[in-house]
Structure 1
Amino acid sequence: MTRANAGTKGVPRADRELQIVRAACEVFGTVGFGRASVAAIAADAGISKPLVYQYFGSKEGLFLASFNYGAETLAAEMERVAADDSVGLERGLRTLDGLFRMLEPQPWLWRLLFDPTAPDDGEVATARTVYTDRITRLAIEGVGELMQLVGDDDPLDASALTAVWMSAVDALIAWWLDHPGVTPAEMTGRCHRLITALSGAAVPADLPS
């Protein structure tokens, strides 16, 4: 996986850092922080291990840069959909579709963000909190629009549905990543069918309203 021109001199620092971060995202997102090797990342980026330490200081520093890159990529895609004219279930499906298409060439980004072996303190923990809050705000906004459409103004209903939605997104993407033969378009269609099935299912008469 040696990158073209990665080992040549004269590459601007910003370009070389991005080259290293992209290689690190794939390694961290594939094997996890705990098993990842700076030497392997350097080899994938086509540069020397000392240069990685020169730019990022430590394995944790490289993971932080990789996490920020992956989280920003995902959050920006969600914000792109949030800025269009879609609302309710359409916005939800467009968000999922955008994530599937964005993750198709780089599926490791999703697992990078939820790596259980990653540092749970310091700057990594702070960055995780910042991006979690950013993504949660988008979910709250989208669910709030949906609740307005159906005439439900109960804040606890909105809170519960936000939790359900965020868990569902994670579960759907995790399922999709475990089925690499499924295309983004096919997965979006499947999500549409699942949402239709859930929203159109009959509710037993003896349940409380």
Structure 2
Amino acid sequence: MTGSRAVGTKGVPRGERESQILAAGTEEFGRAGYAGASMVEIARRVGVTKPLLYQYFGSKDGLYLACLHRAGDRLTDGVAETMAAGGEPDRMPLAVLAAIFATFDHDRYAWKLLRDPTVPGTGDIAASAAGYRERLDAFALVGAGRLLAARGLSDPLDTEAVAHVWTGVVDSLIGWWIDRPGETAASMTRRCERVMASLFGW
């Protein structure tokens, strides 16, 4: 065994096989939730055996956690970079949405893992999911604060309310997007830009 091609199956390098399993696992967990997801179905999607999934990830929890980290790290890093780039506060909501759409354009069910109500209430999965949600909620508070400050508003409860509404809007938009596979990240961004311009003058 040498290099990155070690421990592959059917001639597929291990790294590539892991990526295939993570992609299939993300879709299955996103569609069915942690509780309803089937390791047999994930193996079938990839074209491998169920024991191979356990060989690579140890358990259903191990695979879910790997899928969750893959989704959460990509999302929070993308939002952090977008917000760090600055720009007009009024344009930040659309910029953040564009970053989310671009991140999940070919992996839409990844979003569902971050807010899966069927995950265990304790343990590594619960802690990791809560950590990603807390980071996203913190981004929403910062964005809402900047947006309201640009309008001369500074009440912390106003900021919390706007951030709460924004989080719900994003979740609803992505849920709508998931059900429309023909809607690309670019077309979704343009759609949101039109809607925001019409509703809020952004």
TM-score normalized by structure 2? 0.84
Change (3 A) 1:98 1:177: same
Contact 2:115 2:129 in 1 (8 A): no
Give the alignment of 1:57-76 within 5 angstroms: 57-76=58-77
TM-score normalized by structure 1? 0.82
State the alpha-carbon separation in 1 of the partners of residues 49 and 177 from structure 2. Answer: 35
**Cα shift at 1:140:** 1.2
Deviations along 1:125-179, one digit per CA (max 9) or x if unpaired, are 1001111111111111111111221111111111111111111111111122223
Number of the residue aligned with 1:115: 116
Q: State the SS of the aligned residue for 2:35.
A: coil
Q: State the SS of the aligned residue for 1:34.
A: helix
Q: How many residues align?
A: 195
Number of the residue aligned with 2:21: 20
1:193 aligns with 2:194: yes
State the alpha-carbon separation in 2 of the partners of residues 119 and 15 from structure 1. Answer: 29
Number of the residue aligned with 1:45: 46
Contact 1:28 1:36 in 2 (8 A): yes
State the alpha-carbon separation in 2 of the partners of residues 46 and 181 from structure 1. Answer: 26
| Structure whose CA Rg is larger | 1
Number of the residue aligned with 1:204: none
Contact 1:6 1:45 in 2 (8 A): no
Contact 2:27 2:107 in 1 (8 A): yes
Give the alignment of 1:84-99 within 5 angstroms: 84-99=85-100
**Cα shift at 1:95:** 0.9
**5+ residue gaps, structure 1:** 201-209
Which shows bigger deviation, 190-199 or 119-128? Answer: 190-199
Change (3 A) 1:10 1:174: closer
State the alpha-carbon separation in 1 of the partners of residues 181 and 23 from structure 2. Answer: 21
Contact 1:139 1:162 in 2 (8 A): yes
Contact 1:6 1:46 in 2 (8 A): no
Pick aligned residue for 1:8 from 7, 10, 28: 10
1:167 aligns with 2:168: yes
RMSD: 2.3
Change (3 A) 1:171 1:10: closer
State the alpha-carbon separation in 1 of the partners of residues 97 and 106 from structure 2. Answer: 15
Change (3 A) 1:83 1:181: same
